[in-house]
Amino acid sequence: MTHNRFPLSRISRGIALGSLVTLGLAVSANAQALTVISFGGASGQAMEKAYYGPFAEETGISLTPGDYNGELSRIRAMVETGNVSWDVVEMESPELVRGCFEGLFEPIDWQRLGLGGELIDAAFDECGVGTFVWSTVLAYDADALSSAPTSWADFWDVEQFPGTRGLRRGAKYTLEFALMADGVAASEVYDVLRTPEGVDRAFAKLDEIKDHIQWWEAGAQPPQWLVSGDVAMTSAYNGRIAAAQEEGSNLEIVWNESIYDLDYWAIVAGSEHVDEAYDFIQFASQPENQAVYSSEIPYGPVHPAAIDQLDDAQARRMPTHEENMTGALAIDTGFWVDHGEELEQRFSAWAAR
């Protein structure tokens, strides 16, 4: 199955505006409750303002939000037992592709959505509709460090930059950061990681700072840890750090060597509310609603027309801003689909030692 990747020129420049088609929402007179599951936190709060509340008000469809941490196993268990209680779920791209292959999601009827040609290329997937572009970045407490780190090599330098580090518990992103810290250029990371020697090199690099790492498992933890002083620097989702900055915390983001990707809406196979699910995804893909979301949390909209509705200061906080794309790495979804299971198993064994 082909999973489209997006050209930097399209998202960094926002593309020229396409013709905007006003789409009506097909609302059933007997609309059922719809359950929408996201990663929660600051992003979930932004979705509440941009999507959940306005959608329910405009359509009369009752919407129940929930959150999880991206566990494909939870969705697999629902589908395999026929006890599907979730309708629309937010998915990261490798899990979306893997779940689509396993038949866990409904194939998207793009003609039914009527969004052809309106979204960036990467938003179109066999089983998912892209909703925003996000980055995993290096973030640090500017009050805790005497000088500013500029790369993952600095993150690994515990002498010049003392203190505990935070990393996401898992192989994905962590191995890429380790290789960049070891001098591998962002453009060559996946070429190196596809070799046994490259994998060994990444784990050897992790060995160097293992005693200095505090592992995070939820996106809310890195900014909390930075603010509390538990860590001096950490990998983090850019939007979570931005939310902490708005609350007055003196946190900074290093965009260089960040990893960016899309999150997608997917419809769980066996959902009893497919019509309502399509209505919701269509609503959440409109530029005016995406602009509200991106103004609440700086994740890049997938509808180019939404970018023109953001002011310059807001646009500069997006992963999709041209300056923030310099030195950044697009996640290789195909790599993690092919090798993710074995690398996560190796990581778990390594972390447990």
**Residue 104 phi, psi dihedral angles, 5° rounding:** -85, -15
Same-domain status, 111 and 145:
no
Domain span holding position 161:
136-260+328-352
pLDDT score, position 32: 63
Nearest to 70 by CA among 92, 42, 47: 92
CATH number of 275's domain: 3.40.190.10
pLDDT score, position 41: 87
CA dihedral sign of residues 155, 161, 166, 169: positive
Nearest to 266 by CA among 280, 253, 256: 280
Same-domain status, 100 and 146:
no
pTM of the model: 0.78
Question: If you compute the radius of gyration of the chain from its CA atoms, what whole number of angstroms results?
Answer: 20
Is 3 a member of any domain?
Answer: no
Average pLDDT over every residue of 224-240: 96
C-alpha to C-alpha distance for 271 and 269, rounded to whole angstroms: 6
Is 284 a member of any domain?
Answer: yes
Average pLDDT over every residue of 17-42: 60
At 43-87, the pLDDT tens digits run 999 999 999 999 999 999 999 999 998 889 999 999 999 999 999
* pLDDT band at residue 231 using 50, 70 and 90 as cut-offs: very high
Is 2 a member of any domain?
Answer: no
Same-domain status, 156 and 241:
yes
Average pLDDT over every residue of 228-251: 94
Tally of domains in the chain: 2
Same-domain status, 253 and 150:
yes
